[in-house]
């Protein structure tokens, strides 16, 4: 994968936790998430719950979220509610091999993190998402 051209930073809203709000009762994860998520299965057995359970990610056109591993290494599901005609929505997923995790660790601790595109050095699985589609990203990907 080639290094993309320089981008003008576009802000997006990430990790807006809404578990303790009125919105909480209106959003439920897909049943496959409840079936496959080890984290969710564990917390069903205890009264202790993580502080972050449900959050929303809102992105403006041309925005992006950089490479990261989601908090607590949880599985994450994304659903695309609405897109503009010009939008292309995709995720770059990297298999969580020992080699890739070491390269991620080097990158995340590098002074060049914000100048270096990690995807240019790694094999990434590109998944394009369209309006109304949902994807489950397994833990660590």
Q: What is the pLDDT of residue 72?
A: 62
Per-residue pLDDT of the chain (141 residues; tens, 9 = 90+): 677 677 666 666 666 778 888 888 888 888 877 777 776 677 777 777 666 677 777 777 777 777 877 766 677 788 887 777 666 677 888 888 898 888 888 988 998 887 787 877 667 888 888 888 888 887 777
Distances, alpha carbon 24 to alpha carbons 10, 18, 100, in Å = 28, 6, 35
**What residues are paired with 129 via a beta bridge?**
89
Output the pLDDT for position 109.
Answer: 92
3-state secondary structure (DSSP) of residue 63: coil
* Pairwise CA distance, residues 108 & 98, whole Å: 15
């Amino acid at each position: 994968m080639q290094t993309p051209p320089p981008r003008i930073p576009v802000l997006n809203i990430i990790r807006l936790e809404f578990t303790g709000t009125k919105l909480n009762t209106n959003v439920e994860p897909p049943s496959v998430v409840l079936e496959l998520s080890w984290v969710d299965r564990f917390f069903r057995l205890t009264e202790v719950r993580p502080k972050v359970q449900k959050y929303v990610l809102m992105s403006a056109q041309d925005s992006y979220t950089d490479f990261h591993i989601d908090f607590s290494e949880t599985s994450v599901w994304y659903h695309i509610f609405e897109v503009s005609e010009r939008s292309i929505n995709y995720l770059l997923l990297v298999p969580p091999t020992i080699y890739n995790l070491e390269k991620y660790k080097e990158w995340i601790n590098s002074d060049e993190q914000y100048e270096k595109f990690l995807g240019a050095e790694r094999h990434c699985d590109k998944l394009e998402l369209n309006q109304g589609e949902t994807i489950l990203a397994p833990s660590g990907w």
